[in-house]
């Protein structure tokens, strides 16, 4: 995958980012762009581009930096996926999803009566999967990076060692984790300075233990995490805390390069993540369904439109639940069928444009997964593109970690189906492909995606948001490809989410008028309003004008999540006045 030199001569790079407190923004650039959830981390990626690094180099440096600046989701203790397309339009993916430990069993979350022990698969030491991030970044670098590994890790070491201004989002989290009832937890000490005081906004937050761990990774590469001192300390911490991950698990972990899922839409090519993510398959299935509809007669956001989009989602999520899991354990997954145009025709014919279908929980189910994940999109001056999503599962993952190592472990085991054969309309699923097994990867919803036009990267997109990721990425890609929306408009357009079960359309506040709501209900849909779906981060490349345009969602002031409004006020109150 060789890069191609472009004729772009102007040296303009852009870093854009949002934190949960900032408003959205559109940004343009000529020679490269990094969009992530933290401004300092995006700037770190841009500095790598300016040094001559390519999109992979910049994504790796940004990801390491997010471990420091955005510990709710940025990580070395979790896992994720990279979709990479070079300037020639050749795409590949890197899977660094967490794995179940060797000692995991498919009844590990059940009591003697065979019932699920509440919370054990989500918030306990047994919810921690074998982390994949360092192995994934290392593999990406070995195969496609250009600068030295040490140059890419060093900025994160510096940020952890020298500190960076504690922001309001971290301050808000610190308030939660330092409550009296959490006084013995890892997270209680996490946001404190050397004297044990909880950090205040704008104070420098130094993380010396994390800096040491990152320095070992910088110096020893992947082995700095999976072998030696760090592996030994993880093993020891697990033993002391009832966990089951061992040195052997860490030594055996491998990131894997996989063929992307490929689809087409009216001349565009779509490349996204294959299993163990369900994102690519579901995205392509839904795009194929939409290709069969006539949008000259179905108006954007009309009742027919919302119905059709919801029915497409219902079907893709039902198929996801029935068929998808770790490809190394499910050798017969019908990926070709699910992403084929013929299958879409059959599925499309089942849609009654006047009535909602009914999701049947006795046949299939759907998956658990958390809301806290983070995405970054990168394009470099040569037109190479990276779409990168990684996660700890919940916000701050398991909320556990070794104080000696300074990073947070994931709780990704919660993405497995916890109880074989038990599928409930509330969302618990029991289908076979995603049951727990030693060394198996749990199914994900992350949907890092790159669309090419005329054989070159055109749109780079992804989002956090648990199961909603698939649908927010789908609607954004669809808005760009079908309605030719600019990336900022496509991202800002209010969205819906249907995940087969629970059988309901979740819609962003203000999307549906009272009349549309009534009509959809009359068709048999159940509706639920929600303030916000997803946090998309995308880049498009205008090949004619030869510039990059980026946009990051969005905590739209009119639909901000509860609590965000007051934080916005604080953010936009000049710091001097708050002193
Ligand atoms: N834990 C979120 C996901 O992988 O989809």
The per-residue pLDDT for range 145-189, each reduced to its tens digit, is: 999 999 999 999 999 999 999 999 999 999 999 998 888 899 999
Q: pLDDT tens across 46-102, in order?
A: 999 999 999 999 999 999 999 999 999 999 999 999 999 999 999 999 999 999 999
Q: What is the pLDDT of residue 186?
A: 95
How many CB atoms are closer than 10 A to CB 305? 16
Q: Whose CA is nearest to atom 3 of ligand 1?
A: 444
pLDDT computed for residue 24 by the predictor: 47
In angstroms, what CA-CA distances link 367 with 318, 340, 372, 393? Answer: 10, 23, 15, 13
pLDDT grade for 26, boundaries at 50, 70 and 90: low
Query: How confident is residue 362, by pLDDT bands cut at 50, 70 and 90?
Result: low
Nearest CA to ligand 1 atom 1: 393
Residue 578 reports pLDDT greater than 90: no
Residue written as token pair 């790079």: 13
Closest listed residue to residue 76, CA positions, set 84, 88, 68: 68
Nearest atom of ligand 1 to the alpha carbon of 391: 1
Across the range 486-507, mean pLDDT stands at 94
Strand partners, 552: 25, 537
142 has pLDDT over 70: yes
pTM beyond 0.85, yes or no: yes
pLDDT tens digits, one per residue of 294-314? 999 999 999 999 999 999 999
Cα 19 to ligand 1 centroid, rounded to whole Å: 20
| Catalytic site includes residue 339 | no
Average pLDDT, the chain: 90
Residue 9 token pair: 């001569």
> Of the candidates 451, 452, 490, which has an alpha carbon nearest to the alpha carbon of residue 472?
490
* CA angle centred on 127, ends 123 and 132, rounded to 5°: 130
State the pLDDT at residue 555. 42
pLDDT at 381 over 50: yes
In ligand 1, which atom is closest to the CA atom of 367? 5
Helix/strand/coil percent split, the chain, to 5: 35, 20, 45
Reported as a single tens digit per residue, the pLDDT across 328-359 is 999 999 999 999 999 999 999 999 999 999 99
Whole-number Å distance, alpha carbon 363 to ligand 1 midpoint, is: 23
Rounded Cα–Cα distance for residues 73 and 369 (Å): 14
Instruction: Check residue 485 and give its pLDDT.
Output: 96
Q: Which of 67, 69, 92, 373 is catalytic?
A: 373
Task: Work out the average pLDDT over 279-290.
Answer: 98
pLDDT at position 430 is: 86
Close Cβ partners of 38 (under 8 Å, ≥ 6 residues apart): 17, 19, 65, 66, 69, 70, 74
Asked if the model's pLDDT at residue 577 lies above 60, the reply is no
Closest ligand 1 atom to the C-alpha of 445?
Answer: 5
Measured from the Cα of 467, ligand 1's closest atom is 5
Indicate the range of 2-11, 46-55, 549-558 predicted with least confidence: 2-11
Query: Which residues does a 6 A CB cutoff place in the pocket of ligand 1?
Result: 369-370, 373, 391, 393, 412, 415, 444-446, 466
Contacts of 206 (CB under 8 A, 6+ apart): 160, 161, 162, 163, 193, 194
Q: E strands of 52-193, at which residues?
A: 79-85, 91-96, 164-165
Residue 553: band (very low, low, confident or very high) from pLDDT cuts 50, 70, 90:
low
Report the residue among 128, 320, 393, 472 best suited for mutation to probe ligand 1: largest number of ligand atoms under 8 A from its CB.
393
For the CA of 279, the nearest atom of ligand 1: 5
Q: Is the pLDDT of residue 30 over 80?
A: yes
Helix axes 279-291, 341-349, angle to 10 degrees: 70
Most ligand 1 atoms within 8 A of CB, residue of 133, 273, 445, 448 to mutate: 445
- Of the listed ranges 416-420, 479-483, 574-578, the least confidently predicted one is 574-578
Q: How confident is the model at residue 6 (pLDDT cuts 50, 70, 90)?
A: very low
- Looking at per-residue confidence, does 169 or 26 come out higher? 169
How far apart are alpha carbons 341 and 348 in whole angstroms?
Answer: 10
pLDDT-based confidence at 12, cuts 50/70/90?
A: confident
The predicted pLDDT at position 2 comes to: 37
Say yes or no to pLDDT of 368 above 70. Answer: no
Ligand 1 centroid vs 569 CA: distance in angstroms?
31
More confident position, 460 or 549: 460
Which segment of 171-180, 403-412, 564-573 scores lowest on mean pLDDT? 564-573
Residue 19: pLDDT band (50, 70, 90) is very low
Q: Distance between CA atoms of 259 and 262, rounded to whole angstroms?
A: 9
pLDDT tens for residues 213-236? 999 999 999 999 999 999 999 999
Q: Which residues contact 571 (CB under 8 A, 6 or more apart)?
A: 21, 22, 168
* Structural tokens at position 185: 């937890």
End-to-end CA, the chain = 53
pLDDT of residue 25: 56
Residue nearest to atom 4 of ligand 1 (CA): 444
CA–centroid distance, 415 to ligand 1, in Å, is 7
Is the per-residue pLDDT at 116 higher than 50? yes
Q: In what order do the strands lie in the sheet with 527-530?
A: 496-497, 505-508, 527-530
Q: Is the bond into 198 cis (omega within 30 degrees of 0)? A: no
User: How close is the Cα of 444 to the center of ligand 1, in Å?
Assistant: 4
């Amino acid at each position: 995958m060789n890069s191609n030199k472009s004729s772009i001569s102007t040296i303009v790079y852009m870093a854009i980012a949002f934190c949960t407190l900032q408003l959205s923004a559109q940004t343009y650039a000529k020679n490269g762009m990094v969009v992530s959830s933290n401004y300092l981390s995006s700037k770190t990626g841009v500095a790598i581009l300016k040094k001559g690094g390519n999109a992979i180099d910049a994504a790796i440096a940004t990801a390491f930096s997010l471990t420091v600046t955005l510990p709710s989701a940025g990580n070395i203790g979790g896992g994720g996926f990279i979709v990479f397309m070079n300037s020639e339009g050749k795409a590949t993916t890197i899977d660094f999803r967490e794995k179940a430990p060797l000692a995991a069993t498919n009844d590990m979350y059940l009591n003697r009566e065979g019932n699920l022990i509440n919370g054990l698969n989500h918030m306990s030491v047994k919810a921690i999967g074998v982390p994949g991030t360092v192995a994934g970044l290392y593999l990406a670098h070995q195969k496609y990076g250009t600068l030295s590994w040490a140059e890419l890790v060093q900025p994160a070491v510096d940020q952890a060692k020298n500190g960076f201004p504690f922001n309001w989002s971290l301050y808000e989290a610190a308030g939660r984790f330092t409550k009296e009832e959490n006084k013995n937890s890892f997270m209680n000490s996490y946001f404190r300075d050397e004297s044990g005081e909880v950090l205040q906004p704008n104070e420098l937050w130094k993380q010396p233990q994390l800096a040491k761990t990152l320095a070992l990774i910088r110096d020893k590469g992947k082995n700095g995490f999976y072998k030696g001192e760090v592996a030994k300390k993880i093993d020891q911490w697990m033993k002391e805390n009832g966990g089951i991950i061992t040195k052997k698990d860490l030594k055996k972990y491998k990131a894997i390069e996989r063929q992307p899922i490929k689809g087409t839409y009216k001349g565009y090519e779509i490349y996204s993540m294959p299993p163990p993510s369900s994102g690519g398959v579901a995205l392509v299935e839904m795009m194929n369904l939409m290709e069969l509809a006539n949008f000259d007669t179905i108006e954007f956001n009309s009742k027919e439109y919302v119905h059709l989009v919801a029915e497409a989602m219902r079907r893709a999520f039902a198929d996801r639940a029935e068929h998808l899991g770790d490809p190394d354990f499910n050798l017969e997954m019908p990926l070709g069928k699910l992403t084929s145009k013929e299958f879409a025709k059959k599925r499309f014919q089942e849609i009654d444009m006047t009535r909602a279908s009914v999701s049947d929980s006795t046949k299939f189910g759907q998956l658990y997964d958390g809301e806290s994940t983070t995405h970054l999109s990168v394009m470099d001056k040569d037109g190479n593109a990276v779409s990168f999503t990684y996660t700890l599962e919940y916000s701050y993952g398991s909320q556990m970690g070794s104080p000696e190592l300074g990073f947070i472990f994931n709780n990704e085991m919660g993405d497995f189906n916890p109880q074989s054969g038990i599928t409930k309309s509330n969302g618990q699923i029991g289908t076979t492909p995603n049951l727990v097994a030693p060394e198996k990867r749990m199914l994900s919803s992350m949907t890092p995606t790159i669309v090419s036009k005329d054989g070159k990267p055109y749109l780079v997109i992804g989002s956090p948001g648990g199961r909603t990721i698939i649908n927010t990425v789908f609607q954004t890609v669809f808005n760009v490809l079908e309605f030719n929306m600019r990336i900022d408009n496509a991202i800002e357009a209010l969205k819906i989410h249907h995940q087969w079960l629970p059988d309901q359309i979740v819609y962003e506040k203000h999307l549906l008028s009272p009349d549309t709501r009534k009509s959809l209900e009359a068709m048999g849909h159940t509706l639920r309003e929600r303030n916000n779906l997803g946090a998309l981060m995308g880049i498009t490349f205008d090949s004619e004008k030869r510039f990059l345009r980026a946009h990051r969602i969005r905590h739209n002031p009119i639909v901000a999540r509860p609590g965000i409004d007051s934080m916005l006020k604080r953010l936009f109150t000049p710091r001097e006045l708050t002193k």
